[in-house]
Chain A
Amino acid sequence: MGLGGKKGTVTPHERSPSPRPKRRLKPTQKKQVKRKKRRKDLEELKKEVVLDDHKLTLEQLSAKYSVDLTKGHTPERARELLIQNGPNMLTPPPSTPKWVKFCKQLFGGFSLLLWTGSILCFVAYGIQVYFKEESSKDNLYLGIVLAIVVFITGCFSYYQEAKSSKIMESFKNMVPQKAMVIRGGEKMQIHVEDVVLGDLVEVKGGDRIPADLRLISAQGCKVDNSSLTGESEPQSRSPDFTHENPLETRNICFFSTNCVEGTARGIVIATGDSTVMGRIASLTSGLAVGQTPIAAEIEHFIHLITMVAVFLGVTFFGLSLILGYSWLEAVIFLIGIIVANVPEGLLATVTVCLTLTAKRMARKNCLVKNLEAVETLGSTSTICSDKTGTLTQNRMTVAHLWFDRTVYAADTSEDQIGKTFAKGSDSWFILARIAGLCNRADFKADQEDIPIAKRSTTGDASESALLKFIEQTHSSVKEMREKSPKVAEIPFNSTNKYQVSIHLREDSSQTHVLMMKGAPERILEFCSTFLLNGQEYPMDNDMREAFQNAYLELGSLGERVLGFCFLNLPSTYSKGFPFNTDEINFPMDNLCFVGLISMIDPPRAAVPDAVSKCRSAGIKVIMVTGDHPITAKAIAKGVGIISEGHETAEDVAARLNIPVKQVDPRDVKAIVVHGSELKDMSSEQLDHILQNHAEIVFARTSPQQKLIIVEGCQRLGAIVAVTGDGVNDSPALKKADIGIAMGITGSDVSKQAADMILLDDNFASIVTGVEEGRLIFDNLKKSIAYTLTSNIPEITPFLLFIILGIPLPLGTVTILCIDLGTDMVPAISLAYESAESDIMKRLPRNPKTENLVNKRLIGMAYGQIGMIQALAGFFTYFVILAENGFKPFDLLGIRLEWEDRYLNDMEDSYGQQWTYEQRKVVEFTCHTAFFASIVVVQWADLIICKTRRNSVFQQGMKNKVLIFGLLEETFLAALLSYTPGMDLALRMYPLKITWWLCAVPYSILIFVYDEIRKLLIRQRPGCWLERETYY
């Protein structure tokens, strides 16, 4: 919705004659057509708003809506229209039913892998049952356990999301809104939902506008459009048609904006979803949301792991056929190997890690609605931030004062601890009195306990700013007003551009003082003298020039400047004089000029720091605002989005005194793009701007344009975060990879569309979010590396069982004990690991090349550490069998005899004879010992996984959860081995102490190997080892 009046986007014949929603279709139309239509509608919604009611005269308006402009609709007609058009409310976004959400948790992403594994297990079991009468139930149990794991994890993450959506619901304002309508000539209060097209509506200060209104009369009406356009200043409203663009014209008020002051009467021209606000809301809910980066990473991971599993499975399928196994056995082996590759515990680990981070973020005021979004901030490479309310406080505040020919800066920080200025000057005393007295704003009652800056006020934003400023820096305005009561007043209007009030003087002289404030150039016209250090001097050119300079300087800071002057009325106008403000009967010239006060919606204190942190973290911060370019640029400079010393093309041109076109584009790092320019840009041009400028501000942008900007960034491969609080931000919030809404000031629509909510509305919390997101990405890598490693010692026993025909070294139960038991807490504990280096000093990860799980990680986990672990397990296995009488070489090819239930005198290497059950006990003892060995080597693995580059000695062992994890897994392993009855329950047997020690040398080897590897990587950055093994 740029400044330009012409809308080239929609051809005239497409314009609907009435604002009836175009989306509504006759039910007879076919579904397919509907769907096509929907897509077209979405495209249409992306285009600008088309409205022509503001151009109509009152008569035309009356005719169009067939309504009497004084009496309104008859109640009957209103009822008809209500039935015809439906209630005046926004259709809530199609909320996904709970069971669908639950199913998404159950069958999304990672769960799918486990389900596949589970189903394969059942298939294998089915084959076994079908072809052999008796078979081990291992596959059946494994299938069931897998299903249970997915189910429980699904429930857990569903519960987590449900919890955060509950917090969301608590935001919703449940108070039913009322509207004042005139029907059949009578005023009546009705529910906002019952307002119909053409209704005659009355609004007053403090009301929410019940529908899109075309004003027919107004008295000092001002509306706050910030939630729609992002403009921080209230706009005055009158029945006059002032602008082609419906969003700019004065005679239209928009649904769900607020009337700040005054009263107005208007005709409803659109209700519900067809309002401007409704269109944005429908645009938002119609947008398709892309995959989160972490979901993409998990998909990539699944691809990798599936490839490895299938490769192993098929290879050994072939091998087992060559070795003479039957087809059936080979198929069972194939399934067994594929399933063995499934990391059963990883889904739970990842979910818990993300939940932990989400909780940690919530403690730091970032509420994450969707678990997967936890990491997204960490991958973010571009932040498109709204200005009002996000970067700024959304509260006009006095920023500068100019008196005694000097510019003073006022404290704009939220908590008012800062610099002060020359309060000693007499000019300041007078300026403060004018600002306090010639001011219609007032504090609302019962707010004594609240800090002044946070109190709510009546009246317009700049007057409130002055009121608070005087209350804070000077004295109680209330007392001031009591001492010098107001006797007459000319309120501000847009033609005068000034405001006058006459007060009784504070001293006992019984005379009056006239005070005036307004647009500086207007004020100066009234003045013939000026005040300098409390003394009046006649106005001279020198002073005029100083005034001009000051005015320009403050104006260029994007601040709204007001001038102040006064006149001590002569004694002829003493107490009791009947001042007439309509026909002025008192002098109003030759006033004395006092000074200027400028106001701005100041940046939040923490924002500049946060922006610079984002920048050093390689994140581009783009400001996208509906506000004016000058204000936007000033704030952008104030918070560092345009950093110091960087100039826009216009700045360079002004400095060098050359036309803008001659500016060397290479000198220009910063750019301020106006919405109207953006409108005419092709996507290539937009890409060009986004690519070639480091510092970008988009001003006067419409919601649709915000969306286009986000899409542009995404097209360039960026992962985009959007922050915003208004309805106008919500399409962009939804489209962004991560939308961040404001918890306090944010509108419901924006919160609905967002993935994350800043509970304290503080942009700085985003930095925390980025940090946490990056940390969890690193830590998830470590966690996955840790978990995957133990996969190799879990698979190889089965492979060697097939190939070498040895008794099975590790069984299904023990594998599950590792994956779902001992490995769990240590893997989760890695989520608590602190960062290795300053993660905020590096660039955002490149989603194309830096994957969560890559070949190098798989290589490390499977090819190197996993192999050492497997050897440790096999060593323990051979030790136990050898010490019990079965020497290693006698084991080869023993499988069939070993598994023969009716062979009960199997001879060992010493000539002893074993029953089936006796040797099975030895086998299960081996399983237990193999399991214990994995625990022992996983100690070392956990310690090496703490870091990817640094030595453990640099990183330290400060992670208490990790230490707990080490103890816990050991304790759990001992418990599983030594608890009486475990032999019956899980077939795990007590181990001799020496059997625990078999794996220790391998554990040490893992540690030493990896320390050496990391040492080499640190010493020779970019070396071959780093390229091949640094994950």
Chain B
Amino acid sequence: MTKKEKKSFNQSLAEWKRFIYNPTSGEFLGRTAKSWGLILLFYLVFYVFLAALFTFTMWVMLQTLNDEVPKYRDQIPSPGLTVYPKPLSALEYTFSASDPESYREYVEDLKSFLKPYTLEEQKNLTDCHVGGVLFEQNGPTYTACQFPVSLLEACSGLNDPSFGYAQGNPCILVKMNRIIGLKPQGTPRIECIPKEENVAAISTYPNNGTIDLKYFPYYGKKLHVGYLQPLVAAQVIFPANSTKQEVTVECKIDGSPNLKSQDDRDKFLGRVAFKVTAHA
């Protein structure tokens, strides 16, 4: 009969027990010990073989790679922009000038980020006097240019250890992502504009937000030891009598035709927007 007879609960329980261990045939989960042994051995051998094969193909693939430069760089033709201090959630900086605790983390983050830029750390780097041109090198050793932190002026932290937060004029560092071999054309600079007019003024350091070409191209982590990427600081200066201490700032790369700052999907490609809220 094709019709199913209803099994009682006890019956099915007994069936399950028999499936887990069948004392008459010595079967455990439907197989005898020998059968389990064989099948496990088979899969062991099979998987060991597969693992070996996979390892081999991976090894071959790794052999074809260059340690210094990735094979393809077409996925990152243009750098993204990122800001420091790193906000905890989204891109919003909220602090109160009168409460040091509210911006302590920002300051610490900036300090640790700027650590490689201290004079102490940079003393092994070359002081590239010539500015405004690409610093192309042919190896085998590559030198990295110094980026004196003093270029950031008010945001260098040298004079004001609170990076302006204590005055209610916070500094935000803007950084262009490293991309191996990237040669910006023209005179790239970072331009920061507040979205709402008359709410706040933005000062950028180095002056005009210029990014010196002497820091390009980048030759990669392995060759270009100690490389420091140029930074631009943006200081949001709220008017003293302003009631609304809140502004959205958009920074983007300008002045270089081959660095994109407009992409529908990628909101960080050549630009970055952040919101600063300063309480009294």
> Chain B nearest CB: distance from A1031 CB in Å?
15
Listed residue (A875, A885, A916) with the most chain B CB atoms within 10 angstroms of its CB: A885
Interface positions, chain A 886-901, Cβ under 8 Å from B, are 887-888
Do the beta carbons of B2 and A737 come within 8 Å of each other? Answer: yes
**CB of A583 within 8 A of chain B?**
no
* Known pairs A902-B91, A918-B266; A293 contacts B61 (CB<8 A): no
Q: How far is the CB of A718 from chain B (nearest CB, A)?
A: 10
B178 part of interface (Cβ distance < 8 Å):
yes
- In the complex, which of the residues B1, B220, B269, B272 contacts A917, with contact meaning CB atoms closer than 8 Å? B269
Question: Which of A267-275, A562-570, A905-913, A968-976 sits within the interface?
Answer: A905-913
Partner of B4, one of A291, A887, A921: A291
Judge whether A922 is part of the interface by a CB distance below 8 angstroms.
yes
In the complex, the answer to whether B46 meets A864 with C-beta atoms within 8 Å is yes
CB distance from B212 to the nearest CB of A (A): 19
Given A864-B46, A912-B177 in contact, is the A917-B70 Cβ separation under 8 Å? no
A871-B72 contact, Cβ under 8 Å, with A905-B82, A914-B177: no
A256 to B227, CA, bound (A): 101
Q: Is the CB of B54 within 8 A of A915?
A: no
> Which residues in chain A, 688-715, are within 8 Å of chain B measured between CB atoms?
711, 714-715
In-complex Cβ contact of A875 among B58, B68, B79 (8 A)? B58
Chain B residues closer than 8 Å to A719, beta-carbon distance: 2
List the A side residues contacting B79 at CB < 8 Å: 913
Determine the distance from Cα of A212 to Cα of B143 in the docked complex, in whole angstroms.
Answer: 112
- Which A residues are in CB contact (< 8 Å) with B227? 911
Determine the distance from Cα of A710 to Cα of B49 in the docked complex, in whole angstroms: 54
> What residue in chain A is nearest B43 (Cβ atoms)?
A863
Stretch in contact with the other chain, from A345-353, A522-530, A791-799, A876-884: A876-884
Contact B58 A888 (CB under 8 A): yes
Say which residue of B54, B175, B178 sits within 8 Å of A871 (CB atoms). B54
Chain A residues near B3: list those with CB within 8 A.
288, 290-291
The yes or no answer to A929 lying at the interface (CB within 8 A) is no
Contact B1–A915 (Cβ < 8 Å): no
CA distance A975 to B195 in the complex (A): 42
Interface SS, B side: loop
Bound CA–CA A290/B3 (angstroms): 5
Q: How far is the CB of B164 from chain A (nearest CB, A)?
A: 23
From residue A1026, how far is it (CB to closest CB) to chain B in Å? 13
Residues of A within 8 A of B129 (CB): none
* Cα(A930)–Cα(B186), bound, Å: 40
Interface presence of B267 (CB below 8 A): yes
Interface residues of B in 79-107 (CB under 8 A from A): 79-82, 86-87, 89-91
B130 interface contact, C-beta 8 A: no
A884-B70 CB under 8 A given contacts A715-B1, A910-B220, A913-B177: yes
Partner of A912, one of B38, B42, B89, B178: B178
User: Given A910-B69, A911-B220, A912-B179 in contact, is the A878-B76 Cβ separation under 8 Å?
Assistant: no
Nearest-Cβ distance from residue A925 to partner chain B, whole angstroms:
7
Contact among B75, B89, B218 with A918 in the assembled complex (CB-CB below 8 Å): B75
Cross-chain pairs A/B with CB under 8 angstroms, 29 sampled: A290-B1, A290-B3, A291-B3, A714-B2, A737-B2, A868-B50, A871-B50, A875-B57, A884-B70, A884-B73, A885-B73, A902-B91, A904-B177, A905-B177, A910-B70, A910-B180, A910-B220, A911-B218, A912-B73, A912-B76, A913-B80, A915-B82, A916-B268, A917-B265, A918-B76, A918-B80, A921-B75, A1005-B53, A1028-B38
Given contacts A878-B61, A913-B179, 14 further A-B contacts (CB under 8 A): A290-B1, A867-B47, A867-B50, A879-B61, A882-B61, A885-B70, A888-B58, A902-B89, A905-B177, A912-B218, A917-B267, A992-B72, A1001-B57, A1005-B53
- Chain A contact residues, CB within 8 Å of chain B: 288, 290-291, 293, 296, 711, 714-715, 719, 737, 863-864, 867-868, 871, 874-875, 878-879, 882-885, 887-888, 902, 904-905, 907-918, 921-922, 925, 992, 1001, 1005, 1024, 1028
Q: List the 7 closest A-B pairs by CB distance, nearest first.
A: A911-B221, A290-B2, A915-B80, A917-B266, A913-B177, A885-B70, A883-B71
